[in-house]
Amino acid sequence: MSVVHSIVGSKGPSNHARVISVGTGAYKPDGTFTGTIVQAGDTVLISPNAKTQVIPIEDKTYYLLNEHDIMGIIENK
């Protein structure tokens, strides 16, 4: 389950982000499918140990991470 988001805040590293886009979900090891919990527009709390992939596009930087690296939803949209 991956989420593309941009880090919120302009000074220094941040532990929260605004969700830009989400995947449809993923299959568990037992073969069952589970959908994503977060939605585009949500503001989420990111784990400090999250493994992210940096994606620069024009003058913005986006980050790709797995949903299990999201510790909680701060604000639903």
pTM: 0.73
Kindly report the CATH class assigned to 2-75: mainly beta
pLDDT tens-digit map of 35-54: 988 898 898 888 888 888 88
Q: Does the structure show a pLDDT above 90 at 29?
A: yes
DSSP string, the chain: -EEEEEE--SSS--SEEEEEEE--EEE-TTS-EEE-S--TT-EEEEPTT---EEEEETTEEEEEEEGGGEEEEEE--
Delimit the domains of the chain by residue range: 2-75
In the predicted structure, residue 2 carries a pLDDT above the cut 60: no
Choose the weakest-confidence range: 13-17, 54-58, 61-65, 67-71: 13-17
**How high does pLDDT run on average in the chain?**
80
